[in-house]
A = this chain, B = another copy of it.
Amino acid sequence: MDIFLEKNRGVLLAYDQGLEHGPTDFNERSFDPAFIMRLAVEGKFNGIILQKGLAEKYYDGRVPLIVKVNGKTSLPKGEPIARQNCSVRHAAELGARAVGYTIYAGSAHESVMLKEFGRIQEEAHKLNMAAIAWIYPRGEAIKNDSAPEIIAYAARVGLEAGADAVKIKYPGTVDAFKWAVKCAGKTKVFMSGGPRAPTEADFLTHVRGAVDAGAAGLAVGRNDWQSADPLKMARALRALVIEDRSVEEAMRA
């Protein structure tokens, strides 16, 4: 994971929303992977997260790459499942330094994903790549996927499953996130940026909370490239996460 960290922190640019949510997430610029690649470089992000299709056609090596090796559309109903759609070896050939994989804990298909991640993690480590787990509790059994005990559970699943880093939602308070970070142990915790927050200050306050709680950083997508000035937001996030500034300082960065 060191390649993705500065001062032991990292701001990752997530750009798999085209598969996960569809292009309704995109505006007139953000649909374009080339725009996002430039943003990753100019925004000095510590890593970029892409499905293999984007990595194959747009990745230029200037920012450390995480290839997401599973994914689903938002279209199917029923218990969520996403299976491996990119081999670990292929991710390595694309220049990836880590693979990402989503486990829908609580889904009726949870065991398929825990098994698949188990194999992927071992393959990744053999190729000197990190294995990052998106742990998203979902499915009919999950009433509130942001409840503190659910988020802490998600963090712990990442640790137990052997993830080098885990990406989880912000559970609303610094204390709740602290508990999640403690439960993740030596597994780095990245806050999931999530849908666009009402204001930039709201979003940055959450990020500040996550960092205060011990997170290694965040993976941000929509809250950056849906904003009016993605580079400004990138600067703010770096200031806050890497330079450990306050929300106010970060907004002036």
Which B residues are CB-close (under 8 A) to A137? 75
Q: Which of A131-166 contact B (CB under 8 A)?
A: 137, 139-142, 149, 152-153, 155-163
Q: How far is the CB of A151 from chain B (nearest CB, A)?
A: 10
A90 to B160 Cα, complex, angstroms: 15
Which B residues are CB-close (under 8 A) to A162? 51-53, 56, 86
Which B residues are CB-close (under 8 A) to A77? 108, 140-141
- Contact of A161 (CB < 8 Å), options: B51, B112, B115: B51
Q: Is the CB of A75 within 8 A of B110?
A: yes
A119 to B162 Cα, complex, angstroms: 22
A51 to B156 Cα, complex, angstroms: 11
Q: Is the CB of A141 within 8 A of B85?
A: no
Which B residues are CB-close (under 8 A) to A82? 111, 114
State whether A78 and B31 are in contact (beta carbons under 8 Å apart), knowing that A118-B85, A156-B19, A160-B18 are contacts in the complex: no
Name A28's closest neighbour in chain B (CB-CB): B182
- Contact of A23 (CB < 8 Å), options: B19, B87, B112, B156: B156
A224 within 8 A of partner (CB): no
**Stretch of A183-191, A210-218, A228-236, A240-248 on the interface side:** A183-191
State whether A53 and B160 are in contact (beta carbons under 8 Å apart), knowing that A22-B152, A76-B107, A108-B78 are contacts in the complex: yes
Which B residues are CB-close (under 8 A) to A95? none
- Contact of A179 (CB < 8 Å), options: B23, B157, B159: B23
Q: Is the CB of B86 within 8 A of A118?
A: yes
A77 to B108 Cα, complex, angstroms: 7
A226 within 8 A of partner (CB): no
- Contact of A119 (CB < 8 Å), options: B19, B78, B87, B183: B87
A223 to B117 Cα, complex, angstroms: 31
Name A25's closest neighbour in chain B (CB-CB): B156
A187 to B182 Cα, complex, angstroms: 38
Q: How far is the CB of A81 from chain B (nearest CB, A)?
A: 5
Identify 9 new A-B residue pairs, CB closer than 8 A, beyond the known A51-B161, A53-B187, A73-B110.
A18-B183, A23-B149, A32-B185, A52-B161, A71-B160, A73-B157, A76-B110, A82-B111, A85-B161
Give me the 8 closest cross-chain CB pairs, A-B, nearest first.
A85-B118, A75-B106, A22-B153, A53-B162, A19-B160, A83-B115, A51-B160, A18-B156
